[in-house]
Structure 1
Amino acid sequence: MSAGALWAFVAEHWLSLVSVACLLLLSAFFSGAEAALTAASRTRMHMLESGGERRARIANRLIERRDRLVGTLLLGNNLVNILATSLATSLLIGLVGNLAVAIATFAMTVLLVVFAEVLPKSWAIASPDRFAVAVAPLVRPFVAVVGPVSALINALVRRLLSLFGVTLSADRPMLSAQEELREAVDLLHREGAVVKADRDRLGGVLDLGELEVSDIMVHRTAMRAVNAEEPPEVCVREILQSPFTRLPLWRGSADNIIGVVHSKDLLRALAEPDVQPETIDIVKIAQKPWFVPDTTNLKDQLNAFLRRKLHLAIVVDEYGQVQGLVTLEDILEEIVGDIADEHDLDIQGVRQEADGSIVVDGSVPIRDLNRALDWSLPDEEATTVAGLVIHESKSIPEERQAFTFYGKRFIVMKRVKNRITKLRIRAADDEGQVG
């Protein structure tokens, strides 16, 4: 085709060509608006709204119904893309004949990908907050008009998915605030902006509502308590030699907790005139025990500790049987990590070996191991490392028996009766032999 014929074609169809260009610009607007409004910082938007930015308030109202926003923008984007491609094809039919479909498909694909997808979305992602504030007033009327159509399509999609057994809740948010915070912290940690210790502390706060006291309690088998039927001087010596400030007091059986003895109360009683260790009544100075269900989540238990101004609670199951004890310090350690003082026992539950393997006591909590070594072993079905091995193996393993799961090789080093007391953990691809 000669240049003259081409110019004649342009002059004749200039309105259609301008329409295609406008549709490309409209497609770029929809793509950029979607990227910006979904990537915009909710915190930054609320700060701008609090500062009196009207457009930020509009953006926040749009983001609150993100499923409707995204559906509407996708619907508009697809409509203008199809219309632009159809219009370009009809124009090229008169210019190149039978090759029009192939040429229009190729040309519009390149134009749409470069100018209507990659370019606007890259621009929007580079400064999502500023872009979102700019486009929000223009997006709002479109969402108001087309939103009902998008809602109808979403309802149809849910209906179709329900035929295949997939149920989507209309009220379920795309991402909860807790998940958003956790993912943001993990991303900042991977990028180096947040150190591991800070990430663990923030994660510990977010996990409080998901953990129960049974996940962190001192189990009854490891719980130190005082027998009220022992001679008073024996009880006094045991309390004062203990590294713990508070000790449960039992009588008859370990399940019959009758009080909690505070070492300061004992010292005050011993300081009284004419009071000797042989004559002191331990039961009288003991505080009333506080029993809590083992299913209480840590967030509620922390609030209860603060409200009651207590530091120790006895954990019982649904039948009232003592399962262990939980302290305020145990919950705080879930947030800040181990809290050690000059009176803590020096117990090494995790030891690094020269060959790169890790020797772990079976009673070490999985969460503590994950936090110390930055691992991601699951703790939904088991609380301790030994419990995880038993759960995964569906048996009580023998000594020197080995299992591989979650990218780790677990070797049972020591077993006492039915309890796994020591394990060696190495990478699953480690070729080293069991020592």
Structure 2
Amino acid sequence: MIILLLFGSALVSGSEIAYFSLGPNEQKLLQEENSLTSKRIIGLLEKPRRLLATILILNNTINIAIVLLANHLMGSLFSDAFFTRISQQTVDLVGGAGIHFNLDGTAIFFKIFFTVVLVTFILVLFGEITPKIYANIHNIRLARFMASPLNVLSNVLSPASSFFVNFSKGLEKRLARNRQVSLKADIDHAIELTVRQDPSSDEEVDMLKSIVKFSEVSVTQVMRSRLDVVAVDEQISYKELLKIVKDSGFSRLPVYEEDLDHIQGILYVKDLLQHLHEGEDFAWQNLVRNDVLYTPESRKINELLKDFQSRKLHMAIVVDEFGGTLGLATLEDIMEEVIGDIRDEFDDKEELEYIQLDD
């Protein structure tokens, strides 16, 4: 029975190396075969965490069974008198040094010690090292052989493996979060050291700190609030629209119906350039673009930046959980989070300081 269990332990242990050593080229060959066995192998590899959990559960269960049977077998092969004699010899040997042992306790210790040493040697040699060396050389062969058993056992042990997979994911997220915090603290410390060495690099330091914290900033921290949003009602005249465009200085304006909770699209000011000669009854609403990007308030600005890149847009409407408009965020808002305020000719002019140059 122990031999069968040891053989099973070797197969399961070798399977771990066999499956997880299959490279992209080997997996591609298996996919091209399109056989039932190759499909099972690919199916197992598609859920690597579940496969690993199944292998570990099987391997540990078999090894525990081997230890229990080995302990029973050790008791059958060697009587208690055998371990008692060894204990007596040990007690007599160290007794002269003034050290005293309990004879019965020492006998039990030697029995457990011999069992652990013997089983560990056998398991490591025949249940770990040998099968893993074989699996590393013949990974596809062993993967084929174990495809059906692992497929069945993976389904049977699904509840247990799912528990361990979810537990490991939670632990991994927690450890990764702690590591991320530690890493950012180290980076901040390195930046502070830079400041001490070169006090003139304050702007660069602020930029570096902003980059480090970039993925932690939410959209609500950079957006223009609803009260500050400049938008146009789709019912206003063309003359009124041009006045709003002139006064605001923005290149893009949200267009709404009734209120800001009903955004109909975005008006690009450059689309108006070729229609500046039109009269007051010009149907400017036909120029409104309906490709509107909505983003939840909890979204991080690094994710919104990816949305801007993929959608090729520069403006997003920030909404709450009920779909109401909270404000808007632009590509410029995100860039300012890193490099600071970006001012143009339409921003409030600061008082300039004039200095007379020498002749």
Which has the bigger relative contact order, CA under 8 A and spacing at least 6?
2
Instruction: Give the number of the structure whose residues are more often helix, by fraction.
Output: 2
Larger CA Rg, structure 1 vs 2: 2
TM-score, reference length from structure 1: 0.41
Higher strand share: 1
